[in-house]
Amino acid sequence: MQSEQLNSWLSLAANLAVLAGIIFLAIEISQNTDMMRTQINQSRAELAMNEAQSMYNSDYIPALMTKIRQGEDISAEDRERHRSLLRALNRNWDNQLRQHREGFLDDNIPRSVRNGVIIEIATIELARQEWERTKQMYSDEYIAFVDDILAEQ
């Protein structure tokens, strides 16, 4: 009888230990998820700061964007600079929307990307032309997102 009672107590203790382990694991996963979200946001902030710094320290981009926004003609070399800039912006926005769909980024992302598309593509004829020429480089979801914005403008 004592051996059965001892086995019952040992089984109960083992089951409680397993339950405690599962709870501990769930807490660890939650903390890890929070840390990863924080790291993603930090990386995005650093990327934004680096992008801004590369823009305002550039010998070309501010003058180029001023010309483009004013509708002035630009050289073939400046067109290549603008194409590279647009590819980088579009790749970044496509990635942000994907991460948002997967639940890694906050709900402000679509609004933020939408504003960027309006400012950098929708209001600039040269950028609209480049979008039409290169949009097949991006995800179907992003293409639909940008095309919807451009149709509204």
Question: What tens-digit pLDDT sequence spans the chain (153 residues)?
Answer: 688 888 888 888 888 888 888 998 888 888 888 788 778 778 877 877 877 777 778 888 889 999 999 989 999 999 999 999 999 999 999 999 999 998 888 899 999 999 999 999 999 999 999 999 999 999 999 999 999 999 998
The phi and psi torsions of 113 (rounded to 5 degrees) equal -65, -40
**According to the model, what pLDDT value does residue 12 have?**
85
**According to the model, what pLDDT value does residue 1 have?**
63
Report domain extents, the chain: 1-57, 59-153
- Supply angle C-alpha 94, 140, 80, rounded to 5: 55
Yes or no: say if 99 and 105 are a contact pair by the CB < 8 Å rule: yes
User: 80: which 2 tokens?
Assistant: 């290549």
Question: How many whole angstroms separate alpha carbon 140 and alpha carbon 95?
Answer: 12
- Supply angle C-alpha 56, 62, 66, rounded to 5: 150
The tokens 């995005």 sit on which residue? Answer: 44
